[in-house]
Amino acid sequence: MAGGNSDIEFIKKGKRLDGRKPDELREVRIEAGVLNRADGSCYLEWGNNKVYAGVFGPIECHPRHKQQQDRAIVQARYTMAPFSVNDRKRPGYDRRSSEISYILSQALERVVMVEQFPRAAIRVDMQVIEAHAGTRCAALTAASVALADAGIPMTDIIPSCAAGKVSDTVVLDLNKEEDNYGQADLPLAIVPSTGEVVLLQLDGHLTPEEFEQALDMAYKGCMDLYEIQRAALANRYGGGA
Amino acid sequence: MTKSSSKQASGRSVLLPGDKLAADQKAGSGTFRRDGEAHAAVLGFSSESSGYTNVQPISGRYSPRVGDKVVAVCVETGPSLWRMDIGAFQNSMLHHSETDWKVDFGDTASFIGIGDAALAEVYMVDGSGSHQVTLKKDDCRKLYAGTIVHVAPTRVSRVIGKQGSMITLIREKTGCRIQAGQNGLIWIDGEPDQIARAQQAVETISREVTSSGLTEKIEKLLE
């Protein structure tokens, strides 16, 4: 976890361990509409992360006690495959995935026009096939593309990206080593058209100045991702963005 | 940051959720207003009618409109009504008074059981999205036997074709009885091997909805 002190030298001659500059994203590839059974879907590769997202809905909300009389609820479900990490992960829901599912639901409810579907549920299932740090951001990025692909009314598409601190330097989009042995991790998700922040977490320690710098960096990363998300959706329907 | 819509080869542009619409346009369906400006709410193509710009969704679930003929499947029976799945975000109600049967209180299940299908018409949609269907309209009835094929609701118009040309073609070539619900459920009944052919035709149309010369292709398929 971030926050520790490590003697690993993460940055040599201005380059990180994987050859990136401090403010450079890993390579991202997004494809919309990859699953036949789901109403909307997305496959995302982000560095070595691989994530599928599928959307069902809006459908009747079950169990009924979870229904909201004036709006729909977004039921996001984040899960990691047993083979997604080095040590086999025990399959199924755990504390970490229920926390992530909850915050992702909250973030998505901010853009989905839930008031149009009283008493309904919109199910968003995200499966991490391979994990290499930053999977909650990857899952949220994929989920919002899948929601748009499902034809669900939204005010915007959410991109999500992390910044952090390694070897006393603020860097964008931590990889596995930086996340595990770095000093801080700051995942961010925004609504690009309004600049609203819909997800912000911090693991580790940052000074106020570093925090500002990391926030700016993650914000820019989100904006770059947003373009990739838009291009993926436009490509699905024959238009090049 | 620019938010230009992406142009398609045909010149029609795909709009993404959040895309700004032209300033002089009034916001119709599939849009929303923020700070006095109209934006697209869904992924789709824009179309104009009587001064309003609508964004027609490319994908998505069925949204019921009064007068639509739908194929409804019973999911729950109450003492005096049935709850029918029509593929919308809420189940639809079918009240016993909206049928031609004399249904005793608590005896609904002997008329339509869970899993039974009916061809129904949407006759009420309220502001909160609740809707009801009726069997007291032309052609509406309980459906016995046959097969139901699912297609995307946005593709039903293609299965029906201009003035019903496509569906008539399939009916004639297979001798099947076919009812296309606006909700994307297509009911087919006839000889078993003919049902399979009709189903294949419907699925082909749904899959190749954008290709040109589809009618000829289906004609060939059903030869």
| C-alpha dist (Å) from residue A78 to A113, A160, B187 | 21, 15, 37
Fold of B69-143: OB fold (Dihydrolipoamide Acetyltransferase, E2P) (2.40.50)
Question: What is residue A90's predicted lDDT score, i.e. its pLDDT?
Answer: 95
Angular region, A209: left φ>0, alpha ψ -120 to 50, beta rest: alpha
State the number of CA atoms in the 13 A half-sphere of B208 facing the CB: 13
Assess contact for A180 and A10: CB atoms under 8 A.
Answer: no
pLDDT of residue A57: 86
Identity at B103, one-letter amino acid code? V
| Percentage with pLDDT > 90 across chain A | 91
Residue A175 φ then ψ, to 5°: -95, -175
Interface contact A58-B89, CB threshold 8 A: yes
What parts of chain B have a pLDDT lower than 70?
A: 1-12
Residue carrying structure tokens 């047993």: A82
Nearest CA in chain A to B40: A155
The answer to whether A127 and A34 are in contact (CB under 8 A) is: no
Cβ atoms of residues B88 and B128 within 8 Å: no
Polymer length of chain B:
223
The CB-side HSE value for A41 (13 A sphere, CA atoms) comes to: 12
The answer to whether the beta carbons of residues B132 and B95 sit under 8 Å apart is: yes
Percent of residues, chain A, with pLDDT higher than 70: 97
Helix (H) or strand (E) holding B171: helix B165-174
8 Å CB contact of B17 and A118? no
Q: Which chain B residue has its CA at the smallest distance from A151's CA?
A: B60
Q: CATH says B9-57 is which class? A: mainly beta
Average pLDDT over residues A160-176: 96
Å between A225 CA and nearest CA of chain B: 13
Determine the pLDDT at residue B8: 40
Test A60 with B17 for CB contact under 8 angstroms: no
Q: Report how many Cβ contacts below 8 Å link chain A to chain B.
A: 99
The whole-angstrom separation of Cα A235 and Cα A232 is 5
pLDDT of residue B120: 97
Distance from CA of A121 to the nearest CA of B (A): 8
Task: Taking the CA atoms of B140, B142, B144 and B150 in sequence, report the sign of the dihedral they define.
Answer: positive
Query: Could you tell me the pLDDT band of residue A69, with boundaries at 50, 70 and 90?
Result: very high
Q: Which domains does chain A have, with CATH numbers?
A: 11-236 (3.30.230.70)
pLDDT-based confidence at residue A238 (cuts at 50, 70, 90): low
Confidence tier at A239 by pLDDT (50, 70, 90)? low
Give the C-alpha separation, A185 to A133, whole Å. Answer: 10
Task: Identify residue A68 by its one-letter amino acid code.
Answer: Q
Q: pLDDT (tens digit, 9 = 90+) per residue, B60-107?
A: 999 999 999 999 999 999 999 999 999 999 999 999 999 999 999 999
Nearest CA to B153 out of B199, B121, B184, B178 is that of: B184
Other Cβ atoms within 10 Å of A119 Cβ, number: 22
Q: Is the domain B147-221 a CATH 3.30.1370.10 member?
A: yes
The residue ranges of every structural domain in chain B are 9-57, 69-143, 147-221
Residues with Cβ within 8 Å of residue B74, at least 6 apart in sequence: B82, B83, B84, B85, B94, B112, B113, B114, B115, B116, B117, B118
Q: In chain B, what residues touch A54 (CB-CB under 8 Å)?
A: none
Name which of A156, A193, A238 is nearest B9 (Cβ-Cβ): A238
The ipTM (two decimal places) reads 0.89
B100: which DSSP letter?
S
Chain segment A105-136, per-residue pLDDT in tens:
999 999 999 999 999 999 999 999 999 999 99
Q: What are phi and psi of A77, to 5 degrees?
A: -140, 115
Residue A204 near residue A6 (C-beta atoms within 8 A): no
| pLDDT over 70 at A1, yes or no | no
- Per-residue pLDDT, averaged over A75-101, amounts to 95
Distance CA A156, CA A170 (A): 28
pLDDT of residue A241: 42
Distance between CA atoms of B183 and A107, rounded to whole angstroms? 31
Name the residue among B147, B145, B154 with its Cα closest to residue B201.
B147
Give the CB-side neighbour count of residue B23, counting CA atoms within 13 A. 1
> What's residue B10's pLDDT?
44
Is it true that B69-143 and B147-221 share their CATH fold? no
* Interchain pair B8, A192: CB under 8 A: no
How high is the pLDDT of residue B84? Answer: 96
CB contact under 8 A, B42 and A151: yes
pLDDT given at position B208: 85
- Distance, in Å, from the CA atom of A215 to the CA atom of A163, rounded to the nearest integer, reads 7
Q: Which residue bears the tokens 């593309």?
A: A145
Residue A54 has pLDDT above 60, yes or no: yes
How far the first Cα of chain A sits from its last, in Å, is 38
Q: Which amino acid is at B64?
A: P
DSSP 3-state of A47: coil
Residue A138 has pLDDT above 50, yes or no: yes
